[in-house]
């Protein structure tokens, strides 16, 4: 049975999409069968995996409106054997269009049910907000991975995210777990990064991954080339960090 991981944080700029792309790519590099789902209307995961988001015929938007099958919504990526269900700006209107649909919280889950046995991991990139798209990701997922930027306001908004996860557990998906927290944009030279890590460790009752994702110029450059970091610069600190994170995710036995 594969694992479905939603990468979520309603705070923007925390390395959420970077983490979703590169974790998925490194899981695939480790020999796992991986599917990625872009649930963010900005479509950054789609373009970050080498897909032209404006040229794709079917996206997650068409899938959720039942205008195509889940197989028809999948597109090849630059990662060998890994597909993406792409997204583009059309998805921004989905909230309103889904209003009248019964059980709208489970649309994605019902579609993914058909193919989830085919994959070791399904990685969902959530939008930077706690909306119906994020709820769909959480009802589909087994667990939520939360990237946190090593900055002063790291804990701000985190309690809101944890509250949302708690509500989803109570009302929609009782089996949902917190996969863990991963620190991004870590700068070994600053006391602030170390203080943030300690602060979160002391205040958060959740698994915190040992791997720290560094602030790394190669990681920032890779999306503009439509490549995950392990294909853009395989020997960079960013690539090594995401390989270590992928190994930690694979080795988790309690999910």
Give pLDDT tens digits for 204-217: 777 889 999 998 89
Q: Does 17 fall in a domain? A: yes
The answer as to whether 255 is a domain residue is: no
pLDDT at 159: 80
In a domain, residue 212? The reply is yes
Distance CA 170, CA 173 (A): 7
Any domain includes 143: yes
Note the pLDDT tens digit of each residue in 137-187.
999 999 999 999 887 777 777 888 888 899 999 999 999 999 999 999 888
- Summarize pLDDT for 86-123 with one digit per residue, the tens: 999 999 988 888 888 889 999 999 999 999 999 999 99
Can you give the pLDDT at residue 255? 61
Mean pLDDT of 34-52: 97
Quote the DSSP letter at residue 63: H
pLDDT confidence tier of residue 1, bands split at 50, 70 and 90: low
What is residue 139's predicted lDDT score, i.e. its pLDDT? Answer: 97
Structural domains in the chain (count): 1
Got the DSSP string for 209-235? EEEEEE--HHHHHGGGGT--HHHH-TT
Evaluate whether residue 191 is within a structural domain.
yes
As a whole number of Å, the CA-based R_g of the chain is 17
Structure tokens at 145: 């991975």
Which helix (H) or strand (E) segment holds residue 145: the answer is: strand 143-149
Enter the tokens of residue 127.
């939008």
pTM for this model (two decimals): 0.94
Banded model confidence at residue 61, pLDDT cuts 50, 70, 90:
very high
Q: What is the pLDDT of residue 161?
A: 87
Cα 137 from Cα 172, distance rounded (Å): 11
pLDDT of the residue at 189: 75
**Tokens coding 248:** 């930690």
Q: Are 140 and 70 in contact (CB under 8 A)?
A: no
- Token digits of residue 188: 């070994």
Report which DSSP code applies to 38: E
- For 14, the 3-state DSSP assignment is coil
Per-residue pLDDT averaged across 46-67, rounded? 95
| Tens of pLDDT, residues 220-247 | 999 999 999 999 999 999 999 999 999 9
CATH (domain of 103)? 3.40.50.300
- Looking at the domain assignment, is residue 254 inside a domain? no
Q: Which domain holds residue 101?
A: 3-249
Q: What is the pLDDT of residue 222?
A: 95
How many CA atoms within 13 Å lie on the side-chain side of 20?
A: 32
- Whether residue 48 is contained in a domain is answered as yes
CA nearest to 219, candidates 203, 235, 195: 235
Model confidence at 254, pLDDT cuts 50, 70, 90, reads low
| Distance from C-alpha of 95 to C-alpha of 22, rounded to nearest angstrom | 28
């Amino acid at each position: 049975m594969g694992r479905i991981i939603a990468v979520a944080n309603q705070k923007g700029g925390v390395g959420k999409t970077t983490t979703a792309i590169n974790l998925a790519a490194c899981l695939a590099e480790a020999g796992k069968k991986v599917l990625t789902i872009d649930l963010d209307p900005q479509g950054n995961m789609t373009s970050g995996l080498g897909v032209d988001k404006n040229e794709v015929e079917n996206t997650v938007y068409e899938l959720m409106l039942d205008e195509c099958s889940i197989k028809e919504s999948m597109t090849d990526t630059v990662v060998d054997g890994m597909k993406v269900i792409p997204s583009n700006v059309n998805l921004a209107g989905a909230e309103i269009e889904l209003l009248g649909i019964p059980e709208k919280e489970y649309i994605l889950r019902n579609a993914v049910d058909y193919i989830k046995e085919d994959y070791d991991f399904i990685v969902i990139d959530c939008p930077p907000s706690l909306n119906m798209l994020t709820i769909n990701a959480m009802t589909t997922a087994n667990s939520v991975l939360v990237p946190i930027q090593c900055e002063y306001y790291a804990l701000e908004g985190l309690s809101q995210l944890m509250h949302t996860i708690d509500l989803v557990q109570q009302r929609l998906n009782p089996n949902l777990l917190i996969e863990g927290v991963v620190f991004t944009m870590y700068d070994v030279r600053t006391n602030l990064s170390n203080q943030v890590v300690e602060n979160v460790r002391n205040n958060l009752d959740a698994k915190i991954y040992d791997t720290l994702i560094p602030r790394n110029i190669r990681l920032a450059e890779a999306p503009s080339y439509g490549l995950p970091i392990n294909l853009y610069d395989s020997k960079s600190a960013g690539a090594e960090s995401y390989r270590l994170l992928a190994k930690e995710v694979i080795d988790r036995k309690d999910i």
